[in-house]
Structure 1
Amino acid sequence: MYRLYKKNELNFSLVWIIAYVVLLSLADSLSDSLGTLKIITAPVCMIFALLILGFIRKHNLWKQYGLCSFKGDLKKYLYFIPLILIASVNLWNGITINASIAETTLFIVSMACVGVIEEVIFRGFLFKAMYRDNIKFAVFISSITFGMGHVVNLLNGKDLIPMLLQICYASAIGFLFTIIFYKGKSILPCIITHGAVNSLSIFAVNNSSLMCAVITAVILCIVSIAYALWILRKTKRLDKDGNRDRQG
Protein backbone atom coordinates (compact mmCIF):
# COMPACT_ATOMS: atom_id res chain seq x y z
CA MET A 1 0.00 0.00 0.00
CA TYR A 2 2.86 2.39 0.70
CA ARG A 3 4.07 2.04 -2.90
CA LEU A 4 0.62 3.01 -4.14
CA TYR A 5 0.53 5.87 -1.64
CA LYS A 6 3.83 7.28 -2.90
CA LYS A 7 2.92 6.73 -6.55
CA ASN A 8 -0.62 8.11 -6.54
CA GLU A 9 -2.34 9.37 -3.39
CA LEU A 10 -5.70 9.70 -5.14
CA ASN A 11 -5.79 6.07 -6.23
CA PHE A 12 -4.58 5.13 -2.75
CA SER A 13 -7.55 6.93 -1.18
CA LEU A 14 -10.02 5.42 -3.66
CA VAL A 15 -8.82 1.90 -2.84
CA TRP A 16 -9.50 2.49 0.84
CA ILE A 17 -12.93 4.01 0.14
CA ILE A 18 -14.05 1.17 -2.15
CA ALA A 19 -12.75 -1.48 0.24
CA TYR A 20 -14.54 0.19 3.15
CA VAL A 21 -17.91 0.54 1.39
CA VAL A 22 -17.86 -3.07 0.16
CA LEU A 23 -16.72 -4.58 3.45
CA LEU A 24 -19.15 -2.57 5.58
CA SER A 25 -22.08 -3.46 3.33
CA LEU A 26 -21.20 -7.16 3.44
CA ALA A 27 -20.65 -7.06 7.20
CA ASP A 28 -24.05 -5.40 7.79
CA SER A 29 -25.74 -7.97 5.55
CA LEU A 30 -24.11 -10.86 7.40
CA SER A 31 -25.00 -9.34 10.76
CA ASP A 32 -28.64 -9.06 9.69
CA SER A 33 -28.67 -12.66 8.45
CA LEU A 34 -27.36 -13.84 11.82
CA GLY A 35 -30.05 -11.85 13.60
CA THR A 36 -27.71 -9.86 15.87
CA LEU A 37 -27.15 -6.16 15.26
CA LYS A 38 -23.56 -5.38 14.15
CA ILE A 39 -22.25 -8.78 15.32
CA ILE A 40 -20.01 -8.98 12.23
CA THR A 41 -19.80 -5.24 11.53
CA ALA A 42 -18.20 -4.34 14.87
CA PRO A 43 -15.10 -6.56 14.54
CA VAL A 44 -14.76 -5.71 10.83
CA CYS A 45 -14.82 -1.99 11.62
CA MET A 46 -12.33 -2.42 14.45
CA ILE A 47 -9.89 -4.31 12.21
CA PHE A 48 -10.33 -1.81 9.37
CA ALA A 49 -9.72 1.14 11.71
CA LEU A 50 -6.63 -0.53 13.17
CA LEU A 51 -5.27 -1.17 9.67
CA ILE A 52 -5.65 2.49 8.75
CA LEU A 53 -4.15 3.76 12.00
CA GLY A 54 -1.37 1.18 11.73
CA PHE A 55 -0.47 2.43 8.26
CA ILE A 56 -0.45 6.03 9.49
CA ARG A 57 1.65 5.14 12.53
CA LYS A 58 4.14 3.05 10.55
CA HIS A 59 4.85 5.88 8.14
CA ASN A 60 4.55 8.69 10.71
CA LEU A 61 1.67 10.46 8.96
CA TRP A 62 -0.16 11.66 12.08
CA LYS A 63 0.08 15.37 11.28
CA GLN A 64 -0.40 14.80 7.56
CA TYR A 65 -3.88 13.43 8.22
CA GLY A 66 -4.82 15.61 11.16
CA LEU A 67 -4.46 13.10 13.99
CA CYS A 68 -2.96 15.79 16.18
CA SER A 69 -3.97 18.69 18.42
CA PHE A 70 -6.20 21.41 16.99
CA LYS A 71 -4.47 24.49 15.61
CA GLY A 72 -6.64 27.55 16.04
CA ASP A 73 -8.32 30.03 18.35
CA LEU A 74 -11.34 28.17 19.73
CA LYS A 75 -13.16 31.46 20.16
CA LYS A 76 -13.05 31.94 16.39
CA TYR A 77 -14.55 28.46 16.04
CA LEU A 78 -17.36 29.27 18.50
CA TYR A 79 -15.87 26.66 20.84
CA PHE A 80 -17.37 23.96 18.57
CA ILE A 81 -20.86 24.58 19.97
CA PRO A 82 -22.49 23.97 16.55
CA LEU A 83 -20.79 20.57 16.50
CA ILE A 84 -22.51 19.71 19.78
CA LEU A 85 -25.85 20.57 18.18
CA ILE A 86 -25.08 18.36 15.19
CA ALA A 87 -23.87 15.52 17.42
CA SER A 88 -27.18 15.53 19.31
CA VAL A 89 -29.40 15.26 16.22
CA ASN A 90 -30.50 11.70 16.93
CA LEU A 91 -31.77 12.71 20.37
CA TRP A 92 -33.99 15.58 19.19
CA ASN A 93 -37.14 13.45 19.26
CA GLY A 94 -36.32 11.86 22.61
CA ILE A 95 -34.36 8.88 23.88
CA THR A 96 -35.32 5.22 23.88
CA ILE A 97 -33.72 1.80 24.10
CA ASN A 98 -33.88 0.13 20.70
CA ALA A 99 -31.69 -2.93 21.32
CA SER A 100 -30.27 -5.21 23.98
CA ILE A 101 -27.21 -4.21 25.98
CA ALA A 102 -25.00 -6.50 23.88
CA GLU A 103 -26.33 -5.16 20.58
CA THR A 104 -26.12 -1.57 21.82
CA THR A 105 -22.47 -2.11 22.76
CA LEU A 106 -21.69 -3.67 19.38
CA PHE A 107 -23.45 -0.81 17.63
CA ILE A 108 -21.58 1.91 19.55
CA VAL A 109 -18.22 0.22 18.97
CA SER A 110 -18.83 -0.16 15.24
CA MET A 111 -20.13 3.41 14.85
CA ALA A 112 -17.23 4.89 16.81
CA CYS A 113 -14.86 3.05 14.46
CA VAL A 114 -16.86 4.27 11.46
CA GLY A 115 -16.29 7.84 12.68
CA VAL A 116 -12.54 7.25 12.64
CA ILE A 117 -12.51 5.39 9.32
CA GLU A 118 -14.72 7.76 7.33
CA GLU A 119 -13.04 10.91 8.57
CA VAL A 120 -9.56 9.58 7.80
CA ILE A 121 -10.39 8.26 4.33
CA PHE A 122 -12.70 11.10 3.20
CA ARG A 123 -11.25 14.09 5.03
CA GLY A 124 -7.72 12.75 5.27
CA PHE A 125 -6.74 10.50 2.37
CA LEU A 126 -9.09 11.84 -0.32
CA PHE A 127 -8.96 15.54 0.55
CA LYS A 128 -5.20 15.60 1.03
CA ALA A 129 -4.71 13.78 -2.28
CA MET A 130 -6.41 16.65 -4.16
CA TYR A 131 -6.10 19.88 -2.22
CA ARG A 132 -2.64 20.88 -3.50
CA ASP A 133 -3.91 21.11 -7.08
CA ASN A 134 -7.26 22.80 -6.47
CA ILE A 135 -8.47 23.47 -2.94
CA LYS A 136 -12.05 24.35 -3.92
CA PHE A 137 -12.42 21.21 -6.02
CA ALA A 138 -10.91 19.13 -3.22
CA VAL A 139 -13.41 20.50 -0.69
CA PHE A 140 -16.29 19.87 -3.10
CA ILE A 141 -15.29 16.29 -3.91
CA SER A 142 -14.55 15.41 -0.27
CA SER A 143 -17.99 16.71 0.73
CA ILE A 144 -20.01 15.18 -2.11
CA THR A 145 -18.37 11.76 -2.00
CA PHE A 146 -18.99 11.65 1.74
CA GLY A 147 -22.68 12.35 1.13
CA MET A 148 -22.96 9.97 -1.81
CA GLY A 149 -21.33 7.23 0.24
CA HIS A 150 -24.65 6.93 2.07
CA VAL A 151 -26.27 5.52 -1.09
CA VAL A 152 -25.23 2.15 0.30
CA ASN A 153 -28.09 2.55 2.81
CA LEU A 154 -30.51 2.02 -0.07
CA LEU A 155 -29.04 -1.46 -0.52
CA ASN A 156 -29.58 -2.07 3.19
CA GLY A 157 -33.30 -1.42 2.95
CA LYS A 158 -33.63 2.31 3.59
CA ASP A 159 -36.41 4.17 1.75
CA LEU A 160 -35.49 6.44 -1.15
CA ILE A 161 -36.65 9.83 0.20
CA PRO A 162 -34.99 9.51 3.64
CA MET A 163 -31.83 8.35 1.90
CA LEU A 164 -31.84 11.38 -0.43
CA LEU A 165 -32.30 13.67 2.58
CA GLN A 166 -29.40 11.92 4.30
CA ILE A 167 -27.19 12.46 1.25
CA CYS A 168 -28.02 16.19 1.32
CA TYR A 169 -27.25 16.81 4.98
CA ALA A 170 -24.31 14.41 4.99
CA SER A 171 -22.77 16.42 2.14
CA ALA A 172 -23.31 19.64 4.11
CA ILE A 173 -21.75 18.12 7.22
CA GLY A 174 -18.93 16.77 5.04
CA PHE A 175 -18.32 20.32 3.80
CA LEU A 176 -18.16 21.60 7.37
CA PHE A 177 -15.81 18.83 8.51
CA THR A 178 -13.51 19.46 5.55
CA ILE A 179 -13.32 23.18 6.38
CA ILE A 180 -12.59 22.43 10.06
CA PHE A 181 -9.81 20.04 9.06
CA TYR A 182 -8.37 22.38 6.43
CA LYS A 183 -8.34 25.42 8.70
CA GLY A 184 -7.63 23.79 12.06
CA LYS A 185 -5.17 21.13 10.79
CA SER A 186 -6.81 18.55 13.06
CA ILE A 187 -9.39 15.94 12.18
CA LEU A 188 -10.11 15.02 15.81
CA PRO A 189 -13.16 17.35 16.28
CA CYS A 190 -14.67 15.78 13.15
CA ILE A 191 -14.00 12.24 14.35
CA ILE A 192 -15.57 12.91 17.75
CA THR A 193 -18.67 14.57 16.28
CA HIS A 194 -19.07 11.94 13.57
CA GLY A 195 -18.70 9.10 16.05
CA ALA A 196 -21.22 10.73 18.40
CA VAL A 197 -23.82 11.22 15.64
CA ASN A 198 -23.52 7.59 14.58
CA SER A 199 -23.38 6.08 18.06
CA LEU A 200 -26.30 8.05 19.51
CA SER A 201 -28.56 6.89 16.68
CA ILE A 202 -29.08 3.65 18.61
CA PHE A 203 -31.00 5.69 21.20
CA ALA A 204 -33.10 7.62 18.68
CA VAL A 205 -36.88 7.56 18.77
CA ASN A 206 -38.01 6.27 15.40
CA ASN A 207 -40.21 8.84 13.68
CA SER A 208 -41.68 7.90 10.31
CA SER A 209 -42.94 11.42 9.61
CA LEU A 210 -41.53 12.69 6.31
CA MET A 211 -42.05 16.29 7.41
CA CYS A 212 -39.95 15.69 10.53
CA ALA A 213 -37.18 14.17 8.39
CA VAL A 214 -37.26 17.14 6.02
CA ILE A 215 -37.10 19.67 8.87
CA THR A 216 -34.18 17.83 10.47
CA ALA A 217 -32.30 17.70 7.16
CA VAL A 218 -32.88 21.42 6.55
CA ILE A 219 -31.66 22.36 10.04
CA LEU A 220 -28.53 20.23 9.67
CA CYS A 221 -27.77 21.74 6.26
CA ILE A 222 -28.25 25.31 7.50
CA VAL A 223 -26.21 24.83 10.68
CA SER A 224 -23.38 23.01 8.86
CA ILE A 225 -23.07 25.44 5.96
CA ALA A 226 -23.49 28.55 8.12
CA TYR A 227 -20.86 27.34 10.60
CA ALA A 228 -18.45 26.49 7.78
CA LEU A 229 -18.88 29.96 6.26
CA TRP A 230 -18.36 31.52 9.69
CA ILE A 231 -15.07 29.64 10.07
CA LEU A 232 -13.94 30.69 6.59
CA ARG A 233 -14.74 34.32 7.33
CA LYS A 234 -13.02 34.37 10.71
CA THR A 235 -9.91 32.52 9.57
CA LYS A 236 -9.65 34.76 6.51
CA ARG A 237 -9.51 37.77 8.82
CA LEU A 238 -6.86 36.07 10.92
CA ASP A 239 -4.81 35.36 7.80
CA LYS A 240 -5.04 38.99 6.73
CA ASP A 241 -4.08 40.24 10.20
CA GLY A 242 -1.16 37.81 10.28
CA ASN A 243 0.09 39.02 6.91
CA ARG A 244 -0.10 42.65 8.06
CA ASP A 245 1.88 41.82 11.20
CA ARG A 246 4.60 40.09 9.15
CA GLN A 247 4.77 42.98 6.73
CA GLY A 248 4.92 45.48 9.58
Structure 2
Amino acid sequence: MKKLYEKSELTFALVCIVIYCVLQSLANPLNKIIGIEGLANAIFNVVLTVILFCFIKKNGLFKRYGLCKTSIPARQFLYYVPLIILVTRNLWNGVTVNFSLTDTVCYITYMLCVGFVEEVLFRGFLFKAMAKDNVKMAIVISSVTFGLGHLLHLINGSDVELVANLFQVVGAIAFGFLFVLIFHRGGSLIPCIITHSVINASSAFANETGLTVEKRIIMNLILFVIIAVYTFILSRILPKNQHLNENGVANK
Protein backbone atom coordinates (compact mmCIF):
# COMPACT_ATOMS: atom_id res chain seq x y z
CA MET A 1 0.00 0.00 0.00
CA LYS A 2 2.76 2.43 0.93
CA LYS A 3 4.69 1.91 -2.31
CA LEU A 4 1.57 2.57 -4.41
CA TYR A 5 0.76 5.60 -2.28
CA GLU A 6 4.25 7.04 -2.71
CA LYS A 7 4.18 6.41 -6.43
CA SER A 8 0.79 7.99 -7.08
CA GLU A 9 -1.61 9.25 -4.43
CA LEU A 10 -4.43 9.48 -6.97
CA THR A 11 -3.95 5.90 -8.19
CA PHE A 12 -3.83 4.77 -4.59
CA ALA A 13 -7.13 6.55 -3.89
CA LEU A 14 -8.84 5.04 -6.93
CA VAL A 15 -7.59 1.52 -6.15
CA CYS A 16 -8.90 1.82 -2.57
CA ILE A 17 -12.30 3.02 -3.85
CA VAL A 18 -12.55 0.13 -6.32
CA ILE A 19 -11.64 -2.41 -3.61
CA TYR A 20 -14.26 -0.89 -1.32
CA CYS A 21 -16.97 -1.05 -4.01
CA VAL A 22 -16.12 -4.66 -4.88
CA LEU A 23 -16.25 -5.74 -1.23
CA GLN A 24 -19.59 -3.99 -0.74
CA SER A 25 -20.98 -5.75 -3.80
CA LEU A 26 -19.78 -9.14 -2.57
CA ALA A 27 -21.12 -8.58 0.94
CA ASN A 28 -24.82 -8.25 0.09
CA PRO A 29 -25.17 -11.71 -1.52
CA LEU A 30 -23.19 -13.16 1.39
CA ASN A 31 -25.63 -11.58 3.86
CA LYS A 32 -28.50 -13.44 2.21
CA ILE A 33 -26.60 -16.72 2.33
CA ILE A 34 -25.69 -16.24 6.00
CA GLY A 35 -29.16 -14.98 6.87
CA ILE A 36 -28.02 -12.03 8.98
CA GLU A 37 -28.57 -8.53 7.60
CA GLY A 38 -25.34 -6.57 7.32
CA LEU A 39 -23.03 -9.21 8.85
CA ALA A 40 -20.70 -9.56 5.85
CA ASN A 41 -20.77 -5.79 5.33
CA ALA A 42 -19.92 -5.26 8.98
CA ILE A 43 -16.96 -7.63 8.84
CA PHE A 44 -15.60 -6.14 5.60
CA ASN A 45 -15.99 -2.57 6.79
CA VAL A 46 -14.54 -3.16 10.26
CA VAL A 47 -11.48 -4.68 8.56
CA LEU A 48 -11.26 -1.75 6.11
CA THR A 49 -11.62 0.76 8.94
CA VAL A 50 -8.78 -0.84 10.88
CA ILE A 51 -6.54 -1.07 7.79
CA LEU A 52 -7.12 2.55 6.76
CA PHE A 53 -6.68 3.88 10.29
CA CYS A 54 -3.46 1.91 10.80
CA PHE A 55 -2.12 3.05 7.41
CA ILE A 56 -2.79 6.71 8.22
CA LYS A 57 -1.36 6.37 11.74
CA LYS A 58 1.76 4.45 10.64
CA ASN A 59 2.60 7.06 8.01
CA GLY A 60 1.86 10.09 10.17
CA LEU A 61 -1.01 11.28 7.97
CA PHE A 62 -3.56 12.22 10.63
CA LYS A 63 -3.39 15.94 9.89
CA ARG A 64 -3.28 15.50 6.12
CA TYR A 65 -6.49 13.50 6.11
CA GLY A 66 -8.24 15.44 8.84
CA LEU A 67 -8.23 12.91 11.67
CA CYS A 68 -7.59 15.75 14.08
CA LYS A 69 -9.37 18.65 15.74
CA THR A 70 -10.03 21.81 13.79
CA SER A 71 -8.37 25.02 14.95
CA ILE A 72 -11.49 27.00 14.02
CA PRO A 73 -13.90 27.90 16.88
CA ALA A 74 -17.23 26.06 16.87
CA ARG A 75 -19.13 29.33 16.60
CA GLN A 76 -17.79 29.78 13.07
CA PHE A 77 -19.42 26.46 12.21
CA LEU A 78 -22.66 27.78 13.79
CA TYR A 79 -21.96 25.25 16.55
CA TYR A 80 -22.69 22.51 13.98
CA VAL A 81 -26.45 22.96 14.53
CA PRO A 82 -27.28 22.38 10.83
CA LEU A 83 -25.35 19.10 10.95
CA ILE A 84 -27.31 18.06 14.04
CA ILE A 85 -30.54 18.73 12.12
CA LEU A 86 -29.30 16.82 9.09
CA VAL A 87 -28.45 13.67 11.07
CA THR A 88 -32.17 13.27 11.80
CA ARG A 89 -33.09 13.08 8.10
CA ASN A 90 -33.84 9.33 8.14
CA LEU A 91 -36.33 9.81 10.97
CA TRP A 92 -38.41 12.60 9.40
CA ASN A 93 -41.09 10.12 8.33
CA GLY A 94 -41.23 8.45 11.72
CA VAL A 95 -39.32 5.73 13.54
CA THR A 96 -39.66 1.98 13.29
CA VAL A 97 -37.61 -1.16 13.97
CA ASN A 98 -36.66 -2.67 10.63
CA PHE A 99 -34.48 -5.58 11.80
CA SER A 100 -34.10 -8.13 14.57
CA LEU A 101 -31.70 -7.31 17.40
CA THR A 102 -28.82 -9.26 15.84
CA ASP A 103 -29.44 -7.76 12.41
CA THR A 104 -29.70 -4.27 13.89
CA VAL A 105 -26.36 -4.57 15.70
CA CYS A 106 -24.63 -5.82 12.53
CA TYR A 107 -26.29 -3.18 10.37
CA ILE A 108 -25.41 -0.30 12.69
CA THR A 109 -21.80 -1.54 13.01
CA TYR A 110 -21.59 -1.72 9.23
CA MET A 111 -23.06 1.75 8.74
CA LEU A 112 -20.89 3.40 11.38
CA CYS A 113 -17.78 2.02 9.68
CA VAL A 114 -19.01 3.10 6.25
CA GLY A 115 -19.10 6.68 7.52
CA PHE A 116 -15.42 6.49 8.38
CA VAL A 117 -14.32 4.54 5.30
CA GLU A 118 -16.17 6.66 2.75
CA GLU A 119 -15.07 9.95 4.27
CA VAL A 120 -11.43 8.85 4.30
CA LEU A 121 -11.64 7.53 0.73
CA PHE A 122 -13.60 10.34 -0.95
CA ARG A 123 -12.97 13.43 1.19
CA GLY A 124 -9.54 12.26 2.31
CA PHE A 125 -7.59 10.27 -0.26
CA LEU A 126 -9.39 11.29 -3.48
CA PHE A 127 -9.89 14.96 -2.68
CA LYS A 128 -6.38 15.52 -1.34
CA ALA A 129 -4.79 13.71 -4.30
CA MET A 130 -6.60 15.95 -6.78
CA ALA A 131 -6.47 19.18 -4.76
CA LYS A 132 -2.73 19.41 -5.30
CA ASP A 133 -3.44 20.41 -8.90
CA ASN A 134 -6.91 21.98 -8.80
CA VAL A 135 -8.96 22.45 -5.63
CA LYS A 136 -12.21 23.41 -7.38
CA MET A 137 -12.07 20.41 -9.68
CA ALA A 138 -11.20 18.18 -6.72
CA ILE A 139 -14.27 19.41 -4.83
CA VAL A 140 -16.57 18.71 -7.77
CA ILE A 141 -15.14 15.31 -8.71
CA SER A 142 -14.90 13.98 -5.16
CA SER A 143 -18.50 15.04 -4.44
CA VAL A 144 -20.05 13.79 -7.68
CA THR A 145 -18.07 10.53 -7.59
CA PHE A 146 -19.25 9.93 -4.04
CA GLY A 147 -22.86 10.46 -5.08
CA LEU A 148 -22.72 8.37 -8.24
CA GLY A 149 -21.09 5.57 -6.28
CA HIS A 150 -24.45 5.00 -4.62
CA LEU A 151 -25.80 3.73 -7.96
CA LEU A 152 -24.06 0.47 -7.10
CA HIS A 153 -27.00 -0.26 -4.81
CA LEU A 154 -29.05 -0.99 -7.94
CA ILE A 155 -26.81 -3.90 -8.97
CA ASN A 156 -25.13 -5.20 -5.82
CA GLY A 157 -28.10 -6.96 -4.25
CA SER A 158 -29.15 -4.18 -1.88
CA ASP A 159 -32.76 -4.37 -3.13
CA VAL A 160 -33.01 -0.58 -3.30
CA GLU A 161 -35.79 0.80 -5.52
CA LEU A 162 -34.80 3.00 -8.47
CA VAL A 163 -36.63 6.12 -7.26
CA ALA A 164 -35.27 5.81 -3.72
CA ASN A 165 -31.78 5.24 -5.09
CA LEU A 166 -31.91 8.33 -7.32
CA PHE A 167 -32.90 10.48 -4.34
CA GLN A 168 -30.04 8.86 -2.44
CA VAL A 169 -27.56 9.73 -5.20
CA VAL A 170 -28.63 13.37 -5.42
CA GLY A 171 -28.59 13.70 -1.63
CA ALA A 172 -25.12 12.14 -1.44
CA ILE A 173 -23.76 14.62 -3.99
CA ALA A 174 -25.18 17.52 -1.93
CA PHE A 175 -23.67 16.14 1.26
CA GLY A 176 -20.43 15.61 -0.62
CA PHE A 177 -20.09 19.31 -1.38
CA LEU A 178 -20.86 20.27 2.22
CA PHE A 179 -18.46 17.74 3.73
CA VAL A 180 -15.58 18.59 1.44
CA LEU A 181 -16.00 22.29 2.25
CA ILE A 182 -15.94 21.54 5.98
CA PHE A 183 -12.81 19.44 5.51
CA HIS A 184 -10.98 21.79 3.16
CA ARG A 185 -11.74 24.99 5.06
CA GLY A 186 -11.72 23.55 8.57
CA GLY A 187 -8.91 21.01 8.29
CA SER A 188 -10.81 18.31 10.17
CA LEU A 189 -12.71 15.36 8.75
CA ILE A 190 -14.12 14.38 12.15
CA PRO A 191 -17.41 16.38 11.90
CA CYS A 192 -18.01 14.79 8.49
CA ILE A 193 -17.28 11.28 9.76
CA ILE A 194 -19.60 11.68 12.75
CA THR A 195 -22.44 13.16 10.69
CA HIS A 196 -22.08 10.59 7.92
CA SER A 197 -21.92 7.68 10.39
CA VAL A 198 -24.96 8.76 12.40
CA ILE A 199 -27.04 9.36 9.26
CA ASN A 200 -26.13 5.88 8.04
CA ALA A 201 -26.79 4.18 11.37
CA SER A 202 -30.16 5.90 11.86
CA SER A 203 -31.39 4.37 8.60
CA ALA A 204 -31.86 1.16 10.60
CA PHE A 205 -34.88 2.86 12.15
CA ALA A 206 -36.18 4.76 9.11
CA ASN A 207 -39.90 4.37 8.47
CA GLU A 208 -40.65 3.85 4.77
CA THR A 209 -44.39 3.37 5.32
CA GLY A 210 -46.40 5.89 3.32
CA LEU A 211 -43.24 7.50 1.98
CA THR A 212 -44.53 8.51 -1.44
CA VAL A 213 -42.52 10.15 -4.21
CA GLU A 214 -44.15 13.47 -3.30
CA LYS A 215 -43.04 13.13 0.33
CA ARG A 216 -39.53 12.19 -0.77
CA ILE A 217 -39.38 15.28 -2.96
CA ILE A 218 -40.51 17.56 -0.14
CA MET A 219 -38.11 16.02 2.38
CA ASN A 220 -35.22 16.22 -0.04
CA LEU A 221 -36.01 19.83 -0.90
CA ILE A 222 -35.84 20.66 2.82
CA LEU A 223 -32.55 18.78 3.05
CA PHE A 224 -31.11 20.59 0.02
CA VAL A 225 -32.12 23.99 1.37
CA ILE A 226 -30.40 23.30 4.70
CA ILE A 227 -27.27 22.02 2.95
CA ALA A 228 -27.19 24.88 0.42
CA VAL A 229 -27.66 27.61 3.03
CA TYR A 230 -25.15 26.07 5.43
CA THR A 231 -22.60 25.56 2.65
CA PHE A 232 -23.01 29.16 1.49
CA ILE A 233 -22.62 30.52 5.03
CA LEU A 234 -19.54 28.43 5.72
CA SER A 235 -17.97 29.45 2.42
CA ARG A 236 -18.32 33.07 3.56
CA ILE A 237 -17.24 32.88 7.18
CA LEU A 238 -14.58 30.15 7.23
CA PRO A 239 -11.04 31.25 6.42
CA LYS A 240 -9.64 30.13 3.09
CA ASN A 241 -6.63 27.83 2.86
CA GLN A 242 -7.08 26.73 6.48
CA HIS A 243 -6.25 23.14 5.62
CA LEU A 244 -2.48 22.68 5.51
CA ASN A 245 -0.73 19.82 3.82
CA GLU A 246 1.74 17.51 5.50
CA ASN A 247 4.54 20.04 4.96
CA GLY A 248 2.63 22.83 6.65
CA VAL A 249 2.03 24.66 3.37
CA ALA A 250 -1.46 26.04 2.72
CA ASN A 251 -3.31 24.40 -0.15
CA LYS A 252 -4.26 26.76 -2.98
Alignment TM-score > 0.5, same fold: yes
CA RMSD of aligned residues (A): 1.5
1:24 alignment partner in structure 2: 24
**Structure 1 residues 222 and 7, CA gap change in structure 2 (3 angstroms):** same
Higher helix share: 1
1:233 and 2:236 are equivalent in the alignment: yes
2:247 alignment partner in structure 1: none
2:36 and 2:102 in contact (8 A); partners too: no
| Alpha-carbon distance in structure 2 between the residues aligned to 1:15 and 1:237 | 30
2:245 alignment partner in structure 1: none
Instruction: Report how far residue 221 of structure 1 moved.
Output: 1.8
1:223 alignment partner in structure 2: 226
List aligned pairs for 1:174-189, cutoff 5 A: 174-189=176-191
Instruction: Report how far residue 23 of structure 1 moved.
Output: 0.2
1:83 alignment partner in structure 2: 83
| Alpha-carbon distance in structure 2 between the residues aligned to 1:163 and 1:76 | 34
Instruction: Report how far residue 225 of structure 1 moved.
Output: 2.1
| Alpha-carbon distance in structure 2 between the residues aligned to 1:47 and 1:78 | 35
2:166 alignment partner in structure 1: 164
Q: More deviation in 94-103 or 182-191?
A: 94-103
Q: More deviation in 186-195 or 200-209?
A: 200-209
TM normalised by structure 2 equals: 0.91
1:14 and 2:4 are equivalent in the alignment: no
Instruction: Report how far residue 32 of structure 1 moved.
Output: 2.2
Q: Map Cα deviations across residues 96-151 of structure 1 (whole Å, 9 max, x no partner).
A: 11111111111111100000000000000000001121111010011101101100
Give unmatched runs, 5+ long, in structure 1: 240-248
1:56 alignment partner in structure 2: 56
| Alpha-carbon distance in structure 1 between the residues aligned to 2:159 and 2:225 | 28
1:246 alignment partner in structure 2: none
Is the partner of 1:60 in helix, strand or coil? coil
Give unmatched runs, 5+ long, in structure 2: 243-252
| Alpha-carbon distance in structure 2 between the residues aligned to 1:90 and 1:225 | 19
Instruction: Report how far residue 237 of structure 1 moved.
Output: 8.7
1:66 and 1:181 in contact (8 A); partners too: yes
2:185 and 2:240 in contact (8 A); partners too: no
2:250 alignment partner in structure 1: none
| Alpha-carbon distance in structure 2 between the residues aligned to 1:173 and 1:134 | 20
Q: More deviation in 171-180 or 85-94?
A: 85-94
| Alpha-carbon distance in structure 2 between the residues aligned to 1:65 and 1:97 | 35
Instruction: Report how far residue 238 of structure 1 moved.
Output: 11
| Alpha-carbon distance in structure 2 between the residues aligned to 1:149 and 1:29 | 18
2:126 and 2:142 in contact (8 A); partners too: yes
1:93 and 2:93 are equivalent in the alignment: yes
1:46 and 2:49 are equivalent in the alignment: no
2:13 and 2:126 in contact (8 A); partners too: yes
1:108 and 2:108 are equivalent in the alignment: yes
1:211 alignment partner in structure 2: 214
1:67 and 1:186 in contact (8 A); partners too: yes
Question: Which letter does structure 2 place at the counterpart of 1:192?
Answer: I
| Alpha-carbon distance in structure 2 between the residues aligned to 1:50 and 1:236 | 32
2:195 alignment partner in structure 1: 193
1:245 alignment partner in structure 2: none
1:128 and 2:128 are equivalent in the alignment: yes
